[in-house]
Structure 1
Amino acid sequence: MNQYSENSYYQNTGGGGFLSGSPYGNANGSPGDFGRNRPGGSHSLRPVTIRQIRDATQPHTDSDWKIDNVDVGQVTVVAQVLRCAAQTTNSVYTLDDGTGTIEARHWNDANEGENPEDIEKHERTYVRVMGNIKAYNDKRYINATRIRSCDDPIEPFFHALDSMAATLFYERGHPGKPNSGNEASVATTSRNETVAPARGTSAYTSQTQKLPDEYNNLPALEYSICMFLREQPKSKDGYHLHVICKGIKNPDHQGVGRAMDRLMDEGLVYSTIDDNNYNLCIDTEA
């Protein structure tokens, strides 16, 4: 599902956004390295702030621009038009989104001259600008391919959040994926349940082992149960609740039992020979 194709703010933009399953492009690879130095980023539409454009880098004049060391192609900005001027070959808009100011240049169609009155109507209004980052005489600007008015007063706020989401996506990857295979995370549980060992230091996980996506968002107790079952030899009879409690070093049988019920509701474990023996629903082989 493409976030941009279903969002009214990105409609009629020639496809807008990434034409892949992710809203911000290809997410193959390790977390924390999403889109870095990948050609896919140069063929995408990324929501950004003016400050991000002003902080963008370009190794040399023929290379792609980079934002936070991620290749960026087309960008989209929502900002207020402070000034606009129609010239012979292009129209110049001075934009301000609260993080900085920048000029956007929209080149006139050879067959359609720009009407100065149509240009001036944008002054002191919010617009969405789409285009590429350019520089001339060390001055950065947006080479705009499309400029339209923002009729929805919520759109500037949406864009600010969208820019944050895109930045976090490239920094950390998809929501729910682990930040690092070796980092410990702090988790809390309810109902006075004992907190399991941190994920990065669990006795039942290898530090270099890639963990299944199904487990990444689990609370600490449920996570430790799944990791324990995953590391045990295959058994069609499963493992008894007492064995699981002993294995994860949690003496609260009732709390672990409730956690098992939640895992069954999630479709991650199932009972085997009776209501006290459990197995993982997925293949436990590495």
Structure 2
Amino acid sequence: MGDSYGGGYSRTSYNAGGGDDAGGFVYGGSQGGSQSAHYLTLPTSSRRATATTPCAPVTIKQVIEAEQAYPDAPFRIDGLEVTQVTFVGMVRAISPQTTNVTFRLDDGTGIIEVKQWLDADKQDDTSKQAFALDSYVRVWGRLKSFNNKRHVGAHVIKPVADYNEVQYHLLEATYCHLFFTKGAPAAATVAVYNWLSNSEGGNEGVHANIISQAMKISIGEVLKCGEELTSAGVTYTTVDDETFAILDY
């Protein structure tokens, strides 16, 4: 694959095997070498340790709930060790400090602080870039914990120029989560998500019967897809357990 999204967001594939000591995140696993693994890479300007630094596409809720066996132990999300993460969120607060700028970002699943350290030696330091409140940004950074409080140390923060990137990221994060918790998601799950994204159900959502008729798939399949998407935190039920709406950012 070699898909490229807005804002410098890229997904790269390579044959599974090797690279386990990079401390990164891969999905797609190898079954007899027949599948490919995929990872998200940091923008070229931010790669400091290796030529390609893997990043896990996550939601803020996943970051907050990442497991640690003991203090300073590696973080684990969906059972895999994760160091670098990338996510999209709305800027809720900005707190400039002498050595860093702290952002409070909200992606609809949670709120977390993101710290971007300033480099006094660089006159054109991109970390000094201003972002408007309530605008969307993408973060690439390292998951950290200080005094039992999670935060992300950002390598790069870039404005989201196209709202489609928010949806692309959420779908990517959902795919990875479902892959590692329930196996590869069925194509129907992705199709239902895309259909809901383009529907006009609003906050009231769309009933499974309507989705079934519109997509020409069984009501049982729709309910299964809705359950998977809701458990992943990207949809929610509204007036009843069979009416689904996309989580509003």
**Bucket of the pairwise TM-score, normalised by the shorter protein:** 0.5 to 0.7
CA RMSD of aligned residues (A): 3.1
1:29, distance to aligned residue in structure 2 (A): 5.2
Equivalent of residue 140 in structure 1, options 139, 147, 150: 150
Summarize deviations over 1:222-250 as a string: whole Å, max 9, x none: xxxxxxxxxxxxxxxxxxxxxxxxxxxxx
- Could you tell me the percent identity over the aligned residues? 32
1:129, distance to aligned residue in structure 2 (A): 0.5
Contact map agreement 1:57 1:65 (CA 8 A) in 2: yes
Equivalent of residue 167 in structure 2, options 130, 147, 157: 157
Equivalent of residue 65 in structure 2, options 37, 47, 55: 55
- Please, which runs of 5 or more residues in structure 1 have no aligned partner? 36-42, 177-286
Equivalent of residue 8 in structure 1, options 5, 8, 18: 5
Contact map agreement 2:59 2:87 (CA 8 A) in 1: yes
What amino acid is the match of 2:144? K
Contact map agreement 1:18 1:24 (CA 8 A) in 2: no
Aligned twin of 2:14:
20
1:80, distance to aligned residue in structure 2 (A): 0.2
For residues 124 and 9 of structure 1, what CA distance do their matches in structure 2 show? Answer: 19
Query: Size of the alignment, in residue pairs?
Result: 159
Q: Which runs of 4+ in 1 moved over 3 A?
A: 16-19, 21-26, 113-118, 172-176
For residues 126 and 4 of structure 2, what CA distance do their matches in structure 1 show? Answer: 30
Residues 117, 56 of structure 1: alpha-carbon distance in 2 compared, 3 angstrom cutoff: closer
Secondary structure (helix, strand or coil) at the match of 2:14 reads coil
Residues 110, 29 of structure 1: alpha-carbon distance in 2 compared, 3 angstrom cutoff: farther
1:174, distance to aligned residue in structure 2 (A): 4.4
TM-score (norm 2): 0.55
TM-score (norm 1): 0.49
**Does 2:74 correspond to 1:67?**
no
For residues 116 and 8 of structure 1, what CA distance do their matches in structure 2 show? Answer: 22
- Please, which runs of 5 or more residues in structure 2 have no aligned partner? 17-24, 38-52, 187-249
For residues 46 and 116 of structure 1, what CA distance do their matches in structure 2 show? Answer: 22
Secondary structure (helix, strand or coil) at the match of 1:167 reads helix
Summarize deviations over 1:168-225 as a string: whole Å, max 9, x none: 122344467xxxxxxxxxxxxxxxxxxxxxxxxxxxxxxxxxxxxxxxxxxxxxxxxx
1:77, distance to aligned residue in structure 2 (A): 0.9
Residues 66, 18 of structure 1: alpha-carbon distance in 2 compared, 3 angstrom cutoff: farther
Structure (1 or 2) with the larger CA radius of gyration? 1
Contact map agreement 2:127 2:156 (CA 8 A) in 1: no
Higher relative contact order (CA 8 A, sep 6+): 2
Aligned twin of 2:110:
100
For residues 19 and 87 of structure 1, what CA distance do their matches in structure 2 show? Answer: 38
What amino acid is the match of 2:161? D
